[in-house]
Structures are given as C-alpha cells and as structure tokens.
Amino acid sequence: MRDRAEIVVIGAGIMGLSIAYHLARLGVTDVTVIDKSYLCGGASGRNGGGIRAQWSSEANVRLMQESIRMCRDFAHEFKINVWLRQGGYLFLARTEERRRALEESEKLQRECGLATRLLTPREAQKIVPELDVDGVVAATYNADDGVVFPWPFVWGFARAAQKLGVEVSTFTDVVGIDLSASGEAIEAVRVRKGGADHVIRTNKVVNAAGAWSPEIAKLVGVELPNVPHRHEICSTEPLKPWLKPLVADLTNGLYFSQSTRGEIVGGIGQERVPHGLNHDSSFAFLGLYAHALTRTCPILGKVKVLRQWAGCYDITPDANPIVGGVDQVEHFYQASGFMGHGFMMAPVMGKLIAEHIVNATALPMFERWNLRRFKEGKLLSEAMIIG
C-alpha cells in the first residue's frame, strides 16, 4: 500500500468508488480507497438496483435526472454491461395522506421536466394487469425510471478508477485517524491489512463508509446521527418476462421488480429489526413480504423463493444524507446517510463531491445537507422513501 496519498476514501462501495473515479478524472490520481470487506460486500452489493427520479424534493429529482442519464451511458463509457432496464417505477398509495403526497410529488416532478403521470387504480392496472388494486386510491408512473444489476456498476467504477491510478485496497480495516496537536487537521490514516499495520500520510479523508460511517467519524471525534437499519430482500425462481416496471407501495414499503433473468426481486419495510450492523436473514421478513406481495399481485402466490439476503440502510433522522465538510475537522468530507438510495445517486454525487473537493466549489445542496443542521434543528423532509 502507499505510504502517502493526497486523498484517502474510506469505503469501496459505489459512492466511494464513484468519488475516487471522478477525483482521478479531475487529475487527482494519488487516491487510496480502503474497505474492510470485498467489493460489493456492503450495501452496494446487497440492494435491488433501482434507479428513479420520482422524489418529493427538487434536489433529489434534479440529481436523479442527471444520475439516470449517467446510468444510461455507463455501459458504453465503462465497457461493462450493467443490464439497465428502464421499465419505469409504478408507485401505489392506499391512504388519502399518501395520495396527497403523490399528487404534490407528481406536480413537482412535472415542473422539473419528468413525464410522471398521476393514475387512478384502474389506470395503474393497465400498466400491470396482474395487480390487485383493491384498496389502492392513486398511483404515479414514470417510464424513465428503471433497474440495473448492482455488481457490475461497482466493478465498473473500481476498474475505471484503478486504470486512472487510484489504489483500491480491500480487506483493510481503518484502526485510527491521526490528527494534529490542535485536533483540527488530519495527518494520517492508520490501517491493518492481513495482520500488518500500515500508516498512510494524508490530510484529506472522505468518509463514504455507509452504515459504518459513524464509527469512522468517531475516530476524529465527530458524532454522526445516522444509524444502520437492516433491510432484507429476496429473489424467486425465474419466470418468463411479464413485469415491466418496479412496483412500490408507499404505504407499507413493499417493492418488487423482475430482473433481466426473470427473477422477482423485492423487499418490504420492517420497523422491528435488530439494532446495529446486522446482515442476518429472518423468517419474519419472508412472512411479511409474502403477505404483502400476494395481496398486491396474487399470481405470485405459488412462486418459489430461491435466495434471501440482507444489507443495512444508512438512516439519518430526516431521511436526507450528510454531505460535505464538517466544522470540527478540516478536510474531513462526508458522503453518508443516503438511506437506501445512495446506490442510485452515486454516479452524480461522486462527480459533485469530487468537484467540491478539488475546486472548493460551494453547492447549495451540500449546505442543505450539512451535518450542523441536526444541532440547529433545520431538518429536511422526503416523502418518497420505500423499503
């Protein structure tokens, strides 16, 4: 490993790798990316691969418009197939409160240039005839949303970053971050790999460790309010292609789509899960998911589940991320708290964060997503969270 790096990125998920790649594109190639596990070992390899521009805040809509464009160009630019399938997202609402939220979101999205449509239950059923829309009061649909296969996305960023000179070190634990005597500047990152300790001299660190980000921040005395929350997913036996969009129920957090290989891949929100970083699977999830799925799409009642797994959402108190520098330590940049949508935002966020670091550009959304908002009581909102 290098003894010195201009920037150390902690976390080799898609967010950290995207940041490293875009740093290298800007000419900063002396970058080391560190991860305690293997590529795709964290949330980036454990999610459903959804990408969507249907959000309730303008910042998220604008970001995802650009991110979806980047996703469309990814296979050509990075020479790797990510199996992008733009079949749309079909959101369902079963309460009047959720219906009003959908109406407001659809209005905002159309103002931003999306072709989102507000639908009646019967109109939603025309898009997916197999749906049981009993109890559904409204829906929205945007055909440009879609799904990708997560692993090649991560591998593509890793390979492209390495070709530009970035060092990616997996199975490497961060054991400490050395600060100056004043405690306000970073001097080195201490790591352990294969039982051997190593010191990387640097004065810039990006914390892109996802659900592990609060542990990294504590190494420099910074308290982050985000917490890990286990989220489970399962995949069925392959079926003939029939389901075009990803279907999501805003009332209970159910979502499901069909992969290019034919499996039904989906999950559902669970409030009662073990605290902390936990990747175990549970029977409780299967029961909850099966009940909601067969209620929404009865024909899936006899489909066999082949695989089940779990990953951790990285949740902040206001369901919005923590991005940019912190007041306590100079050049300690945050890129965490993205709930379950860090994967879909990583292409564009990596670019923006890299530009912010290299050019010291001030972006309104970074100020909006700063850490101090939690102490100042300036919490944000986002209504379209699923899972």
What is the reported pLDDT for 357? 95
Domain ranges of the chain: 7-46+151-226+318-376, 86-144+227-315
Q: Which residues of the chain have pLDDT under 50?
A: none
What is the reported pLDDT for 366? 84
Per-residue pLDDT tens digits for 174-215: 999 999 999 999 999 999 999 999 999 999 999 999 999 999
Per-residue pLDDT tens digits for 58-93: 999 999 999 999 999 999 999 999 999 999 999 999
Class of domain 86-144+227-315: alpha beta
Topology, domain 7-46+151-226+318-376: FAD/NAD(P)-binding domain (3.50.50)
What is the reported pLDDT for 381? 85
Is residue 53 within 8 A of residue 212, CB to CB? The reply is: no
pTM for this predicted structure: 0.96
What is the reported pLDDT for 364? 83
What is the reported pLDDT for 276? 87
Q: Which amino acid is at 350?
A: G
What is the reported pLDDT for 385? 84
Do the first three CATH levels of 7-46+151-226+318-376 and 86-144+227-315 match, i.e. the same topology? no
